[in-house]
Structure 1
C-alpha cells in the first residue's frame, strides 16, 4: 500500500481549517474526503499517524483522532492493524500524489485579510504591454498564410533565442531551440522524453518544486546532493557527492538536474571554482545534464554592470548531445507571457517536439511575436529588474533582521525571495498555523526531494515589503508555537 508523507499531505490540505463549516475535526475530515474524491490522494493510500499529522498541521492529536474517526464511520477510512489508516477512494494505487505547488495561484481568495507570501512570481514589466500594442498586421504577415501550428516555434523566435546565446559567446543555431509554454513545460517535456519509471535522477537539495513534481510523477528515483549553503555546500560538496555516487552506485544516474545560476529557492549562484568542479565531474562521468536557467536573468549583480550579457550556461562547454538548457522570458518580463525554451541537440529537440505536439500542438503565435520584440529589450529589462530587486531585497533583509534577529539566511545573489532558517521551528506546522491567521507561506520541505529543511521558510520580497511586514508578527508567533 502506498503511504503519503505527512509533509506532502499538509501541503495538499491548504486552507482546510478556514473553509467549510463545523468544528476543526469535521473540517479536516471533509478536506481529506475531498482529496480522495478528486483523486488527489489515490485510493488505498496510508495516511500519516495521528501524532505525525497533528504535528505538521499545528493541531492537537485529538483533532486528528476525531477526524479519522469521522472518516472511518462514513466509510472513507479503514484501519489496518499494523499498517495504519488507509484512505478509500477511486484513484489508482500507483498514481503520483501531487503537492499542490500551484495552490498559490488557484486558491487566492482576494480577501483583504490575507498576506500572500506563497509565490515569488514578479509583476509584469510595462515593456510587455508596449510590445503587444506595437504588433501590427505586418508582424503576422506570411504567418497568416499557413495553419498557425509551429511545433518547434516560429522561425523568428527560434533564431532570436539562438542569437541570445551567441551574444553570450555560446555557439547556437536555431535548429537547437524548441519553444515551449514557459520553463515548466520545458522541464516536463525533458522528464517525459528522457526519464523512465525507476530511473535514478540526481537533484540538488533543495531544488525547484516544479522539477520535483515532474520527476516524481514520472516515477524517478531522486537522489539528493549538496545543500543550501553557498556553492552547494562547504567545499562544493554537491559535485563531490555526485562523483562518489557514480563510483559506488550500482546504476548510473539517468540525468542530473541543476540550477547553478540564481538557484530556486535559495537565490545562490555558484562561484567560478564550484562551477568548474561541476563541469569536470559531469564531463568525467559523461552524465546527461539538464541545466535550468529559468531564474538566471534575475541575478542582482554588483551594481556596476547593469547591461551584462545573457548568463553563460554551466553546460555550454559540455557535449551538446548530452545536455539540455532550459530558459524562459516569463521570469524576467511577466508570468503571463508563457514563452520558454529548450536548447539541446537537434535530435533531442525533435524528440521533445514530438511529445509537445501531442500535448498542445504548438505555442501561441501571438505570444511568440511579442517575445521576438522583447528579446531586443533584454538589456533594459535586466537593468530595471536588478535595480528593483536589489532595493526590495535590501529592504526585506532590514525588516526581517529588525523583527526576527535570531532568524538566519545567506544574502541571495538573485531571485525574488529570502531562504530563511528559523532555529527550533517546524515550518510545516508554522505554515499551517499561519494560514489559519491569513498568512500564506511555503515551508522548506516543499523544495526538498527528501522532505528536508523543515526549519526553512521562503519569504518573497518581489512585490515589496508591505505584505512581509504585515505577515511577520504572525510568522513570529507561529514560529514560537511550532517550536519543538
Structure 2
C-alpha cells in the first residue's frame, strides 16, 4: 500500500487538536485511529515520518512520536525498520472518503470560516419559491414524480441557455443532476476505469480530484500557476508533447472562471485548446460551474465545447453557484448517447432529482440576467475591498486579480500553507491550503482566500493568518537547521 502524502493526511485531520479530550498526543492518536476505522485512510497505508507530520501539523516531533507509540501499543500501527509505519484498519473498504473536503461544510465552529467560497442565496430564490401555487404543481402531481433525466421543461430551458450562447442544443442532450458535484462524479463513474490517464489542470477543482481519485485514475497535471506569469494556466501544447506514449482517457478543464484561481481563458486560448483537443481526439469534460460568476462581460459565457464534437464532449453546469448552494440543480450537456449512459448510472443512486426544486430552477432561468448583474456588482466590491486590505496589511503576499469567482489565489512567500492552515485552525480561523487543489500536492505556498464573506470577515481573520504564516516559516527554518546539523554518515 502506498504512502499517504503528508498534505493529504493533514487535510483529513481537520479539527483534531480542538476536538476530544486529553493530552495532544492522545487526541492525535485518536484522530488517526478514527481515520483507519472509517477507512478514510486505506488499511496498510504508510504514514508520513514523524518529522514530516509534526512540521505540517505545527506540533512538536515528540507529540507525533508519542501518538505513533500509542497507536502501536493499541495495535493500530505497525512499524518496521526501513519501511516506515503502516496504519492498520478493518480492511473492509478499499477507498477512503475523499480528503476531508466536507470539513468546509460540516463543522463550522471557528471564529472565522474561510474554508468555503460558497455564496449566500439571492433573494430571488425566495421570491420564486413563494410565488409557486397549487396550480403550478397540479400537473406534476398527476404523475409519479420519477424523472431520471430531469423535468422536461427544465431540460428544454437549459438547452435554450446553450442555444443563446451559440451552441445548438436539444433537450435530449441534457441530464439534470443534483448539483455539479454529482455531475462530475457521474462522469468519473461512467468514463474512467482504474489506471486510466486523466489530464487535469494544475491547480484544479478539488471535488473533481476526489471523484477521479476514487476511480483510481492516473492523474497527469498540465501547466502551473504563479502571479504575473502564465495567467491562462495550463498549456494546450502539453497534449501534443505527450506524444504517442500517453493516451489520455479524458481531459478535465475549467476554461471559464477557474476554481481556485478565478482566471478565465480568452478567445485565443480557447481556440488553442479546442484545436489541441480535436487533434488528439481526446474526450473533454468542461466544467463551467463557476462560469456565471464572471465579473466582466455580459450574457451567457460561450463554452469551449462550441468548437468540439458532442460525441466526445461533456459540459457540466449548475445554478447553485449563482443563485444558492441550497438549490441542488446542476446538469450535464453532451450527446444523447452519453446522456443515456450517465442517466443509467444516476438511477442507481437516485431515481430523480427533487421535482419542486427543478420547477423553481425553470423560473430562475428566466432571471439569469438580473442575477448576474446582482452578483457581479457585489463580488466586484468585495474583491476590491479584499485587495485593498491585503495590500495594506499583507503587502508581501502576491496574487493576480481574478476574472471571476469568489476568492483570491494568494501566494504567501516562504510559507508552507499546509502548516499555516493547521496553526490558524487551532486559533479559530479555517482556510484551505493550495495543495488541496493540486493532483501532485503542489502549491504549498498558496492559499485560497475567499472574499465573498465580506471584508469584515477577512479583516478579523488576517491577524491570525499572518501570525500563523510567521509561525510556519519559523518552524520550517528550525526544521531545516536541525536537519543541517545532523552528523553525516
TM-score range, shorter chain: over 0.9
SS at 2:349's partner residue? helix
Query: Take 1:66 and 1:258, find their aligned partners in 2: how far apart are those partners?
Result: 43
Instruction: Return 53-62 or 230-239, whichever deviates more.
Output: 230-239
C-alpha change, 1:73 and 1:151, in structure 2 (3 Å) is same
Q: 1:458 is matched with which residue?
A: 448
The aligned residue for residue 59 of structure 2 is 59
The structure 1 residue matched to 2:119, chosen from 117, 122, 138, is: 122
Q: For the residues of structure 2 that align with 1:138 and 1:378, how far apart are their CA atoms?
A: 24
Aligned to 2:464: 474
Number of residues paired by the alignment? 474
Q: What is the alpha-carbon distance in structure 2 between the residues aligned to residue 295 and residue 235 of structure 1? A: 16
- Tell me how far 1:38 sits from its aligned partner: 1.8
| CA root-mean-square deviation | 1.5
Q: Match of 1:90?
A: 90
Q: Secondary structure at the match of 1:457?
A: strand
Return the alpha-carbon distance in structure 2 between the equivalents of residues 13 and 102 of structure 1: 12
Q: CA shift at 1:93, angstroms?
A: 7.2
Partners of 1:392 and 1:97 lie apart in 2 by 34
Q: The residue matched to 1:45 in structure 2 has which SS?
A: coil
For structure 2, the 5+ residue unaligned runs are 477-489
Pairing 1:404–2:394 present: yes
| 3-state secondary structure, aligned to 1:359 | coil
Shift of the 140–232 alpha-carbon distance from structure 1 to 2, 3 Å rule, reads farther
For residues 194-232 of structure 1, the C-alpha deviation after alignment (integer angstroms, 9 at most, x for no partner) is 111100000000000000000000110000001125899
- State the 1:29 CA deviation: 0.7
Match of 1:138 in 2: 135
Give the superposition deviation at 1:142. 2.0
Q: Partners in 2 of 1:140 and 1:235 — Cα distance?
A: 46
| Aligned counterpart, 1:219 | 216
Which residue does the alignment assign to 1:198? Answer: 195
Match of 2:483 in 1: none
SS of aligned partner of 1:59: coil
| Structure 1 position 81 matched with structure 2 position 81 | yes
Please name the residue that 2:414 is paired with.
424
Residues 239 and 281 in structure 1, CA contact (< 8 A), matched pair in contact too: yes
Give SS of 1:85's match. strand
Give the structure-1-normalised TM-score.
0.96
Other-structure match for 2:480: none
Q: Secondary structure at the match of 1:290?
A: strand
Give how far 1:459 is off: 0.4
Indicate if the aligned counterparts of 2:202 and 2:222 stay in contact, CA closer than 8 A. Answer: yes
Distance change in 2, residues 1:429/1:234 (3 Å): same
Distance 1:417 1:206 in 2: 14
Structure 2 CA distance for aligned equivalents of residues 92 and 243 of structure 1: 42
Query: What SS is found at the alignment partner of 2:198?
Result: strand
Greater mean alpha carbon deviation, residues 34-43 or residues 231-240: 231-240
- Answer whether contact 2:201 2:234 (CA < 8 A) is retained: no
Aligned partners of 2:240 and 2:434: how far apart in 1? 26
Q: What's the CA shift for 1:20?
A: 1.2
Match status 1:275 vs 2:265: no
Question: Do the aligned partners of 1:428 and 1:445 also contact (CA within 8 Å) in 2?
Answer: yes
1:318 corresponds in structure 2 to 308
* Counterpart for residue 389 of structure 1: 379
Q: Please report the TM-score for the alignment, with normalisation by the length of structure 2.
A: 0.95
Give the counterpart of 1:345 among 322, 328, 335.
335
State the Cα distance separating 1:235 from its structure 2 match: 8.1
Hey, what's the Cα distance between the residues in 1 that align with 2:7 and 2:450?
21
Equivalent of 1:209, from 189, 206, 224? 206
Partner of 2:295: 300
